[in-house]
Structure formats: C-alpha cells, structure tokens
Amino acid sequence: MTKKQVFTYLMLVVGFGAAAYLLYHTFRDYSLDDVIKSFRAIPLTNLLLALLFAFGSYVCLTGFDWAGVRYVKNDLAYPKIALASFIALSIGQSVGLSGLSSGALRYRYYAHWGMTTEDVAKIVLLSGFTVGIGMGVLTGVVMIINPGDAASVLKLPDTMVIAIGVGLLAVTALYLALAAFVRAPLKIRSWSFQMPTLRIALAQVVIGTVNFALVSACLREVMAVSGDVSYLKAVTAFTLANYAILITHAPGGLGVLEATVRHVMGDQASIGSLVAFRVIYFFIPLFIGLPLSLIVEAVFRARKAKSSSGSSSHPPVTSEMAPAE
C-alpha cells in the first residue's frame, strides 16, 4: 500500500469519526419521534421549493464540467457532459473526498468519449477552481452586506469580517484579470496548465456563485417553518459550514454541516429541517445517481461487446485471402 493510499484511508477514518461525533452531539437530545415530528412541521410548499432549488443547483454543477470540457478545447455535447457531471457529483458529494471519488467517475465517462487522463485532470482541477470562486464570491458579498452574523460566529469585529469579504472579491477580480491577460502556460513536470479564457472564467464566476446561492436557498426553505428565516443568515450558515467541511474532510459534510448550521441558525435550524436538507440535496440525488450509473455502465458494456463481435465477424484480409492484382 502506497503512502498516498494510507493517507486517503486515514482521512476517511478521521472524517467518519468526526461525522459520527458531530451527529451524536447534534442529535443526542432528540428521539426518532422528535425528528419525524420536526420534519412533518415543514410546509409542503417549502419542501417543493427546496427540491426546485436543489435541482437548479445540480444543473449549475453540470456547468462546472461544461466549463472544464471547453477549457480543454473539446466539443463534447452538453447532454453527455451533464450525464457525467450528475452521476459523478451525486455520488461523490455523499461518499466524501469529492475530488477523488467524482474524479474517478468522470474519468470513466470522459475517457470512454475519447478524452485523455490529462484532459480529465484539467476538468476536475477547473471544477475545483469554480467551487472555490463561487464560494468566495458568495461569502464575500454576504460578509460585506451582512457582517454581523459571521462576526458573531467567528468572534471577529464587523470591520474585520468586511475586510475578509473585500479580500475574497479582490481575489476573484485578480483571477479574472489573469484570465484576461496571462496566456503563458504554467508547466509542472510533463503537464502544462494555462489560465482559462476570460469567457470561461466569467462563466465560472457566474455559475459557481449561482450554484451556492441556490443551495443556500434550498437550506433556507426547509428552515422557514416560521416564515421569518433570513436568507442572508442562511447563506452565512451554509458558507461557513462548507469551510468547516473542507477542514474536516467529513464524508458529504456529514455532521459538520448540521452542527455548523445549527450553531449559526440556532433554533431556526430544527432537527427536521437539517434532516430534510440532507435528504433533498444529498440522498435523493445519490439514489438517482447510483442506478443511473449502473444503467450507463451496462450500456457501455453492451456497446463494447457489440463492437467487439462486429469486428470479429469481419476478420482482416490476410495475404492469402487478398485478391490477385
């Protein structure tokens, strides 16, 4: 077993351990009956809106891959990109270590459609940048508009929170400037990386920001039992939870998401709302993505078998079989 494999397994063990502890800490005072009652208290309209926002987020996530595929100058059709993206992320976001798990699934599909290992690595890398940019822009905007909630959680003065928000937006502006003016490739050993075009970089900013805004809206809807949940506060809770997830590497943010959101939102984040959000945004896509991946794999294998049988039924012409000239 290599050191990289040992480190990966160790991170999974640590992540699952952290998730188990945080879930116990969050739910220890509630029975299953309490959770069910809290879930049922969420109005059907809010649940339907949460589903709609979650659907919109996954559409945006296909845009992450679209930008990556266009970055490697491939004209793969959007339906195939959307298929690979949804299956990879619906499974990867729940399994944990999303970059590795979803990256492996992406390679399975994109390689089947003719892309190289380097192409897939660049797609995954650009998608990671889109995640960071989208999260940074949304966090920056919220910290500038509504610094109080973040300041109370981070134990920082409002001016410091605003400064952090300005800094995050400045980093995004720098990224766009590099995309506009820097064309020299960055070389790492035998691989070369080049800044995306300004068009792709702008698409990253828009798609990434809208994605996380939609996820935050999904979270707000399941918490809006009383109807007075602040969207900006929900965004603050979600963005801070994501930074905590990046630090802990908990699979699917399990436990970390719930604990952070509850810490920020207080009683507005009922146990039922936290369960509803995880079901809507993680479990439902996972239960769609898993069978869909099996169906696609079966189609791939069937086409491969048909192609193999077709080529074997027409053996190449040998010198003995070749017609005389």
Residue 71: give the domain boundaries: 15-297
Q: Tell the residue number behind the tokens 């999303």, with chain if given.
A: 98
Residue 291 forms part of a structural domain: yes
CA atoms within 13 A on the CB side of 39: 14
282 within a domain of the structure (yes/no) = yes
pLDDT at 245 over 90: no
Residue 244: partners with Cβ closer than 8 Å, 6 or more residues away: 256, 257, 260
8 assigned to some structural domain: no
Residue 109 lies in a domain: yes
Radius of gyration of the chain, Cα coordinates, nearest whole angstrom:
23
Give the residue-averaged pLDDT of 220-230. Answer: 80
With bands split at pLDDT 50, 70 and 90, how would you rate the model's confidence at 174?
very high
Residue 304 placed within a domain: no
Decide: pTM greater than 0.75: yes
**Has residue 185 been placed in a domain?**
yes
Total residue count of the chain as it appears in this document? 325
- Please name the amino acid found at residue 174: L
Q: Would you say residue 152 lies in a domain?
A: yes
**How confident is the model over 32-77, as pLDDT tens digits?**
676 677 778 888 899 999 999 999 999 999 999 999 999 999 999 9
Residue 188 has what pLDDT? Answer: 62
Percent of the chain with pLDDT over 90: 36
The count of domains in the chain is 1
Is residue 322 one of the residues assigned to a domain?
no
Q: Which helix (H) or strand (E) element contains residue 126?
A: helix 117-145
Cα angle, residue 78 at apex, residues 77 and 84 outer, rounded to 5° = 100
For the stretch 72-99, pLDDT in tens is 999 999 999 999 999 988 888 776 555 5
Q: Are 257 and 96 in contact (CB under 8 A)?
A: no
